[in-house]
Amino acid sequence: MKMKKLLSLALAGALVCTSTAVAIAANGSKQEMKLREANLFTDTVKGSENGTISRGEAVVLVLNALGYKDDVNTKEDYVKLNPFNDASAAYKGYLGLAYDLGLVQKADNFYENDTAKENYLLGMVLRALNYKDAFTDTENLAVKQKLVDESDYIEDDVTKDEAAEIILNSLNAELGDGTKTKFGEYLVKSGIISEDKLAALGVKAATKDKEDIHIIYFNDFHGNITEEITGKKRNMGMAKMVGYVNEFKAAHPNTIVLSGGDNYQGTADSNLTFGKPVTAMMKGMNTLASAVGNHEFDWGYEKIKGWAKDGSFKYLASNIYDRKTNKPVAWAKPYMIIKKAGIKIGIIGLAHPDTPSLAKAEYVENFEFRDPVKSANEWVKYLKSGKAKEGKPDVIIALTHIDSDQNFDTNEITGNATKLANEVKGLNLVLSAHSHRSVNGKVNNVPILQAYCYGRAVGHVTLDVDKKVTSKKVKVSVKAKNDKKKETKKPKYKIVKKTAYKVKDIATELYDASIIKDKIIKSAKADEFYTKLQAEIADEKNKVLGEATEAFTHNRSDKGSVTLLGRWACEVMADEAKAEIAIQNGGGLRRTLEKGKITMGDLYEIMPFDNYLTSMDLKGKDIKKAIDHGIDMPSTTDGAFSGLIVEYDGTKPYGSKITKITLSDGTPLEDEKTYRVVTNDFVFGGGDGYDFSGASNVNMTIPIRDVLVSAIEKAKTITPKKVDYIRDISK
């Protein structure tokens, strides 16, 4: 900003002896005065004698522009969030709030009194506007959003006047969430400033994108309708999901909303009502279609048809066939075609081929889950040939519940979804799910997108539409006035205009909810629904069962061991069933049981599945096989067990790792001897690939969640035990 600074100094020198200079010195710049009139500039930002501001003042300035007042500095909730050792009382609350909002990054010291550089202020402003690359791509983003000019040198110290100009410019900048909402518009919707004041600040309404087609995509929502307001603040919640989508649609009229499946199962909010709030969310967003996830079957396939009807959307699945009719199932459609902005979009649904091992056997036994690659090729060919009654689509999308993953160091994408990109000719986009990953890139020049899970990210696809209008002079035959003969001497012509539409490019983006959700305005209707639902289920959901003295951790990405939660659950199951050995699939437990009060809602989130305690007699060789199966599982969470001591070699092939296995007292496990074993009915039926076909004397009793609840209530206080009975000898 050197050029700008020199100009400012020259002007200041010219005005030194005038009354105008005195007025500016006393009242601040024109930009500052505008912001003061809108209550977006605080007296705390005084500046130094030479006009520069400190790093601490820069933080206060940005917080004030966000609508926070000076009283936040003394609020204990913010003061205790301060991460800096050198923060004084003058800035502790400000810095705690700024850190919580992601405006500043954690460090030992903040150096609040050092002069702020312009790039530092710009980074905070851009982060306040929800740009995730605010600190790494500051200059490019600042120029693009017109916070500064290309000629500005942003590594200089920033003055109070320059800071005011940047804040004023930011009001016309778009938020970094893809909605095209301007920062100033957000402030009005939040009730921070009035429309009149916004107009006085010169903020113009954002322009609508009426030409292109947009897809908003989410997957694996798993009933997470509650916004996460503490911790990592990742889950968006239903009210903000609906608010975000409707805000996006207001600026992008040609928008469709799609889901990758696994919408319902996973929280007390959803499970206690069999998905009622998720259906309301899907309807509130005007969701067009969803893939069929494996967890859509958790309460029986009959629920699927009702969800679609009540939520006004369609389930799509081209590779699920009814074994009785040998035709695609009646409760889901193989494909659909929708027309937007002159473009016909074909959407083919695909379920995960492993669904039979990921759902209760009784719920999927009547269905065949065919190879998704073969099914996709079959239906792409069908659509490309123009056999569909809706006509031939211009673009074909695979809406799937099929896994993918991405290495963000190399950007390489892996997983079963890549087979669709590599082996299905004619697909233009693959929407992935199931593996709960953030994926955004291309394979074989086909975009693949997955939006993490639980409403922690939103996927955005832009179909760049090229609209061309051509004119052609066409000869028109006319009739003579006195007879029906055609006039041949004086032919007439007319100009015929023809409009052609073409998708030039397909671009994908991912928006991290933890970054964008603080600016999302909740849908009032969805929020009202959520509030009423909480009142309805409060007694059951919030019932306190007991207390955990420490966290029962369950990190599902850990391999080669048993989690603290896994050990506890297995021991409770074994005690209830009077079994020597317990086996639990790791994915059957969904999250850590945190330290402190334990509620019924916690138990629904930890074990959302209505699985039953299943005990049996099982030979030692089959037990060893089951335990080996659960170690370093390649595509799901490792299994848990109790009642055994296991040594294994992590370098050996999967399924053949165990080198030594005994009972807890050290007695060798004998291959042909029978032991009493307990597991859950999902695993017993072949879930997660387990094999209990050699079992005898099988007894299925009560839901495992009820067993865990009873154990907590009986003990009142529970403490995790160290897992010391499984060891990798290669380490």
Residue type, 4: K
Instruction: Write the DSSP assignment of 16-42 as a string of letters.
Output: TTSHHHHHHHHH--HHHHHHHHTT-S-
Long-range contacts of 559-563 (CB under 8 A, 24+ apart): 559/632, 559/633, 559/638, 560/631, 560/632, 560/638, 560/648, 560/650, 560/726, 560/728, 561/638, 561/723, 561/726, 562/638, 562/640, 562/641, 562/642, 562/723, 562/725, 562/726, 563/589, 563/640, 563/723
Q: How confident is the model at residue 491 (pLDDT cuts 50, 70, 90)?
A: low
Say if residue 38's pLDDT is above 80.
Answer: yes
Q: How many CB atoms lie within 10 A of CB 490?
A: 6
* CA nearest to 379, candidates 419, 349, 351, 353: 349
**Number of residues in the chain:** 731
If phi > 0 it is left, if psi is from -120 to 50 it is alpha, else beta; for residue 360 that is beta
Q: What angle do CA 709, 715, 716 make, to 5 degrees?
A: 85
Among 176, 200, 178, 177, which Cα is nearest to 188's? 200
* pLDDT digit string, tens, across residues 292-339: 999 999 999 999 999 999 999 999 999 999 999 999 999 999 999 999
Q: Is the pLDDT of residue 605 over 70?
A: yes
Average pLDDT over the chain, rounded to an integer: 92
- pLDDT for the residue numbered 482: 55
Sign of CA dihedral 189, 195, 198, 203: positive
> Tell me, what's the pLDDT at 475?
74
Average pLDDT, stretch 186-205?
Answer: 92
Report whether pLDDT(579) > 80: yes
Average pLDDT over residues 455-467: 95
The distance from CA 403 to its chain's CA centroid, rounded to whole angstroms, is: 15
Distances (CA, A) of 115 to 112, 118, 136: 8, 10, 20
Report the 10 Å Cβ neighbour count for 177. Answer: 25
Q: What angle do CA 359, 360, 365 make, to 5 degrees?
A: 95
Q: How confident is the model at residue 15 (pLDDT cuts 50, 70, 90)?
A: very low
Least confident stretch, 229-233, 381-385, 637-641 = 229-233
Q: What is the pLDDT of residue 479?
A: 60
CA distance 408 to 266: 28
Angle, vertex CA 488, rays to CA 485 and CA 492, nearest 5: 105
- The stretch 81-105 carries a mean pLDDT of 96
First-to-last CA distance in the chain?
Answer: 56
Select from 725, 691, 561, 731 the least CA-distant residue to 639.
Answer: 561
- Residues 635, 79: Cα–Cα separation, whole Å: 43
What is the full DSSP assignment across 473-487? EEEE--B-SSSSSBP
In this structure, of 13-27, 49-63, 203-217, the range with the lowest mean pLDDT score is: 13-27
pLDDT at 554 over 50: yes
Closest CA to 167 of 133, 201, 205, 213: 201
pLDDT category of residue 720 using cuts at 50, 70 and 90? very high
Query: How deeply is 71 buried, as exposed, middle or buried, from its count of CB atoms within 10 A (0-12, 13-18, 19+)?
Result: exposed
CA distance 202 to 593: 51
pLDDT in tens, 420-434: 999 999 999 999 999
Q: Distance between CA atoms of 679 and 584, rounded to whole angstroms?
A: 6
The answer on pLDDT for 696 being more than 60 is yes
Give the count of alpha carbons within 13 A of 710, CB side only: 10
CB atoms within 10 A of CB 326: 8
**What band does 24 get if pLDDT is binned at 50, 70 and 90?**
very low
Residue 57, pLDDT above cutoff 60: yes
Instruction: Give pLDDT, residue 360.
Output: 85
pLDDT band at 701 (very low <50, low <70, confident <90, very high): confident
Contact between residue 566 and residue 637 where contact means Cβ atoms under 8 Å apart? no
CA atoms of 723 and 379, how far apart (whole Å): 50
Q: How do beta strands 674-680 and 658-663 pair? A: unpaired
* Distant-in-sequence, close-in-space partners of 7: CB < 8 Å, separation ≥ 6: none
pLDDT at residue 4 greater than cutoff 60: no
The pLDDT of residue 617 is above 70: yes
Question: CA 162: distance to chain centroid?
Answer: 37
User: Of 570, 667, 665, nearest to 626 (Cα)?
Assistant: 570
Mean pLDDT, residues 499-507: 91
**Containing H/E element for 375?**
helix 372-384
**CB within 8 A of 563, min separation 6: which ones?**
552, 553, 554, 555, 586, 589, 640, 723
pLDDT in tens, 101-146: 999 999 999 999 999 999 999 999 999 999 999 999 999 999 999 9
Q: CA-CA distance, 507 to 34, in Å (whole number)?
A: 39
Q: What is 643-711 written as a DSSP string?
A: SEEEEE-TTSPTT--EEEEEETTSPBPPTT-EEEEEEEHHHHTTGGG---TT-EEEEEEEEHHHHHHHH
Contact 44, 68 (CB under 8 A): no
The whole model's pTM is what? 0.83
Q: Using alpha carbons only, give the angle 450, 131, 43 rounded to the nearest 5 degrees.
A: 150
CA-to-CA separations, 589 to 79, 231, 556, in angstroms, rounded? 36, 21, 9
The values of phi and psi at residue 325, to 5°, are: -100, -15
Q: Looking at the predicted structure, is the pLDDT value of residue 705 above 60?
A: yes
pLDDT band, residue 3 (cuts 50/70/90): very low
**CB burial readout 240-257, b (16+ within 10 A) else e:** bbbbbbbbbbebbebbbb
Max CA separation in the chain (angstroms): 113
pLDDT tens column, 240-254:
999 999 999 999 999
pLDDT at 525: 97
